[in-house]
Chains A and B, each alone.
Chain A
Amino acid sequence: MRRVIRNWHSLAASLLAVAALTHLPLTLPDATGPSGHGMMIAAGIVVTTLLLQAFEASGPALRGTILFLGAHLCALALILNLAGNEGKMSAAFFILVAASWLLAWASASEFSRQEPRQKSLKAFLRLLIPAIFGAWILILWEVVTRGFGVPFILLPPPSAIGIRIAGSLAILWADVQQTIFKAVFAGYVIGCTSGFVVAILADRVDFLRRGLMPIGNLMSALPIIGVAPIMVMWFGFDWQSKAAVVTVMTFFPMLVNTVAGLSATGTMERDLMRTYASDYSQTLTKLRLPAAMPFIFNALKINSTLALIGAIVAEFFGTPIVGMGFRMSTEIGRMNVDMVWAEIATAAVAGSLFYGLIALAERAVTFWHPSSR
């Protein structure tokens, strides 16, 4: 019984593969490029399951690798069979896709059972397991859009988006320069710095803190993005207006978090600094700012996504003829959906890189914090 529970993914996959055999071939009768590979792929899934039974006693690493190879070879074969048969796939095809997905799921769960001692191996696994998940989102997306023949306008397959990205690198780069290197960075630096400075001021002057904090808390819940049209009116169509929107959006989270962080130190630590006869600025730089760093980095992280959103949305209200928001709004008007998705992918990668860089800096700065140990 235990053995069945442990292997239920692969056993279910084999049952599906056998069920698929009754619905062969992979393509509908009216397909242009009928395929006879269905038997082979189903056999691949069954062989993977049998291999797994043979290696029942071995550790999760080997079992995970077998499953990983089996699942992805079958998926590759299935996708190759799609070519020329968009929208003409039979039930057998989708059953086999589900079976390979089960195998991939099983491999991920075998890998997450693994608890390696080596640090490098641990880091590798921490990347591999989410990577399997991400890869299957793409695989299922590709299979569903092309297998069912979903209209291109509604959702283009990832392969088409990838080709579009590769084909328009120059345009994407120009947009990234306009939106991210000019608008986002300028606004992010100005907004975060001014938020930080005001927070220090508010910390110094208690009256200011009592007055600003309720307003700051309220403001960080407000739809500040609505100032975008006003800023475009004030600062013109170029990147300055977008930087202004980003500045306003990033200011309040920074202010609120920094003030909260500055009060994070205990009385004991402050008293200790007092016994050292340290003055305000010494206490600030040696004790309270370092203690506030987790909060400040939290704001920097929140702001990194806010900044990107602010700049792109502000571009909907008027831009020169370059920029990510401009490109999205014009290309959707021309129904070039793959270009829009290419911009989205670019923005997501840029956003993740931005976030990742800040997270790395956080690790370096707040190495002492319990959450990074």
Chain B
Amino acid sequence: MVMRSDHFRHHALPVLTIVIAILAAWYVGAYVLNASFQRDLDRRGNVTSTPIEFLAKTMAQPKPILPAPHQVAQNLFENTFLRKVTSNRSLLYHAWVTLSSTALGFAMGTALGIAIAIGIVHVTTLDRSLMPWIIASQTVPVLAIAPMVIVVLGAINITGLLPKALISTYLSFFPVTVGMVKGLRSPDRIHLDLIRTYHAGALQTLLKLRLPASIPFLFASMKVAIAASLVGAIVAELPTGAAAGIGSKLLAGAYYSQTIDIWAALIAGSVLAALLVTLVGLAARMVDRMMGAKPEGKPA
């Protein structure tokens, strides 16, 4: 019991306070940003309203500059739970579309990242020549050219899931490569020497020593990679070609000034990101336990 109240005071209370502060600031911001338009509206309609009524009106505009939190929450609730999952307006449907290309891109990116890392660790020439280019590859703002890649691939009839997943792959292979190179090199000299005395070849060393040693590194970089995959999938949906997905929802909202829709889509994307990262974290803990780490032991 003592432990629990301690936990509340040290973790939940501060977070809660900050969240409430953000919400309060959001409401104030909604009032300040929407007030002038509402005043304009009232003057034209010859309406005089009490301050309380006026305040309520600034929070109930259909296309506010900054929607109030409860407007966003209401939109989010309606579009998530009250619509049919197959409906074009259901956020679950859009989230599913984004999720599927995120997952495919993440899987391909992780596989590619691991393969490159294994190559780099085993071939000196690759290590010397590839590593600088891998870092340079991330200074290409591929996210910025993602819409173009989609359009070009669409021109040769590669459409649907794959082009979007390719963007996610490009973004997610980098953290995995960097993390895995570190992880595959993490075994101590002593361990490497020991396995040499067992007359293990490169393949056996990889399977029995290097790969198991790299698991914590792999999961740490997979957390970064899955977040990057999601961002890639969302941005890849921005071109008009994509009819569904969180990104297309954002773009449609921007075109028709449906601010509430934009915010709802943004929050849906955030929830998705949090879920995915948590999922990878859970998988990390499970694998950790399966590999014999003590339950209390913190994953590296």
In the complex, the answer to whether B155 meets A154 with C-beta atoms within 8 Å is yes
- Interface status of B105 (Cβ within 8 A of chain A): no
Q: Which of A66-74, A79-87, A159-167, A348-356 contacts B (4 or more CB under 8 A)?
A: A348-356
CB-CB < 8 A to A348: which residues of B? Answer: 136, 139-141
CB-CB < 8 A to B269: which residues of A? Answer: 222-223, 226
CB-CB < 8 A to A209: which residues of B? Answer: 14
In the complex, the answer to whether A233 meets B259 with C-beta atoms within 8 Å is yes
CB-CB < 8 A to B156: which residues of A? Answer: 151, 154
- Interface status of A274 (Cβ within 8 A of chain B): no
CB-CB < 8 A to A212: which residues of B? Answer: 18
CB-CB < 8 A to A214: which residues of B? Answer: 11, 15
Q: Which of A13-21, A139-147, A291-299, A304-312 contacts B (4 or more CB under 8 A)?
A: A304-312
User: Chain A: which residue is nearest B224 at the CB level?
Assistant: A221
In the complex, the answer to whether B250 meets A229 with C-beta atoms within 8 Å is yes
Q: Which of A93-101, A128-136, A281-289 contacts B (4 or more CB under 8 A)?
A: A128-136
Q: Provide the A112-145 mask, 1 if CB < 8 A to any CB of B, else 0.
A: 1100000000000010011011100100000000
In the complex, the answer to whether B133 meets A233 with C-beta atoms within 8 Å is no
In the complex, the answer to whether A329 meets B139 with C-beta atoms within 8 Å is no
CB-CB < 8 A to A137: which residues of B? Answer: 133
- Interface status of A234 (Cβ within 8 A of chain B): yes
Assuming the A-B contacts A154-B152, A221-B274, A340-B148, are A233 and B18 also in contact, with contact meaning beta carbons closer than 8 angstroms in the complex? no
In the complex, the answer to whether A230 meets B129 with C-beta atoms within 8 Å is no
User: Chain A: which residue is nearest B156 at the CB level?
Assistant: A154
In the complex, the answer to whether B133 meets A230 with C-beta atoms within 8 Å is no
Q: Which of B14, B133, B223, B257 contacts A133 (CB 8 A)?
A: B133
Assuming the A-B contacts A154-B155, A313-B144, are A223 and B125 also in contact, with contact meaning beta carbons closer than 8 angstroms in the complex? no
Q: Provide the A209-233 mask, 1 if CB < 8 A to any CB of B, else 0.
A: 1111011001001110111011011
Q: Which of B78-86, B197-205, B228-236 contacts A (4 or more CB under 8 A)?
A: B228-236
CB-CB < 8 A to A317: which residues of B? Answer: 254
CB-CB < 8 A to B65: which residues of A? Answer: 233-234
CB-CB < 8 A to B145: which residues of A? Answer: 328, 340, 344
- Interface status of A171 (Cβ within 8 A of chain B): no
- Interface status of A208 (Cβ within 8 A of chain B): yes
In the complex, the answer to whether A226 meets B234 with C-beta atoms within 8 Å is yes
Q: Which of A215, A230, A325 contacts B262 (CB 8 A)?
A: A230
Distance, CA A173 to CA B132, complexed state (A)? 26
Judged by DSSP, the binding face of B is helix
Assuming the A-B contacts A133-B130, A154-B156, A328-B148, are A312 and B124 also in contact, with contact meaning beta carbons closer than 8 angstroms in the complex? no
Distance, CA A132 to CA B223, complexed state (A)? 33
Judged by DSSP, the binding face of A is helix
Query: Measured between C-beta atoms, what is the minimum distance from A195 to chain B in Å?
Result: 16
- Interface status of B10 (Cβ within 8 A of chain A): yes
Q: Which of B16, B143, B148, B230 contacts A332 (CB 8 A)?
A: B148
Q: Which of B33, B152, B235, B274 contacts A313 (CB 8 A)?
A: B235
Q: Provide the A327-365 mask, 1 if CB < 8 A to any CB of B, else 0.
A: 011001000010010001001100110110000000000
In the complex, the answer to whether B14 meets A229 with C-beta atoms within 8 Å is no
Q: Which of A112, A226, A229, A308 contacts B141 (CB 8 A)?
A: A308
Distance, CA A222 to CA B246, complexed state (A)? 13
In the complex, the answer to whether B235 meets A221 with C-beta atoms within 8 Å is no
Rank and list the top 7 A-B pairs by shortest CB-CB distance, nearest first.
A351-B139, A211-B14, A229-B254, A312-B144, A211-B18, A210-B14, A133-B129
Residues of A that sit less than 8 Å from B by CB: 105, 108-109, 111-113, 126, 129-130, 132-134, 137, 151, 153-154, 207-212, 214-215, 218, 221-223, 225-227, 229-230, 232-234, 304-305, 308-309, 312-313, 316-317, 324-325, 328-329, 332, 337, 340, 344, 347-348, 351-352, 354-355
With A207-B14, A211-B16, A351-B139 already in contact, 20 other A-B pairs whose C-beta atoms are closer than 8 Å: A105-B125, A108-B128, A112-B125, A112-B128, A130-B130, A130-B132, A130-B133, A154-B155, A211-B15, A221-B224, A223-B227, A223-B231, A227-B266, A308-B139, A316-B147, A316-B238, A344-B140, A348-B141, A351-B141, A355-B139
Residues of B that sit less than 8 Å from A by CB: 10-11, 14-19, 33, 65, 124-125, 127-133, 135-136, 138-141, 143-145, 147-148, 151-152, 155-156, 223-224, 227, 230-231, 234-235, 238, 246, 250-251, 253-254, 257, 259, 262-263, 265-266, 269-270, 273-274, 277
Q: Provide a sorted-by-A list of 19 A–B residue pairs whose CB atoms are within 8 angstroms.
A: A130-B130, A133-B129, A133-B130, A134-B133, A153-B155, A218-B270, A221-B224, A221-B274, A229-B250, A230-B262, A230-B263, A234-B65, A304-B139, A308-B144, A312-B144, A313-B143, A313-B238, A348-B139, A352-B136
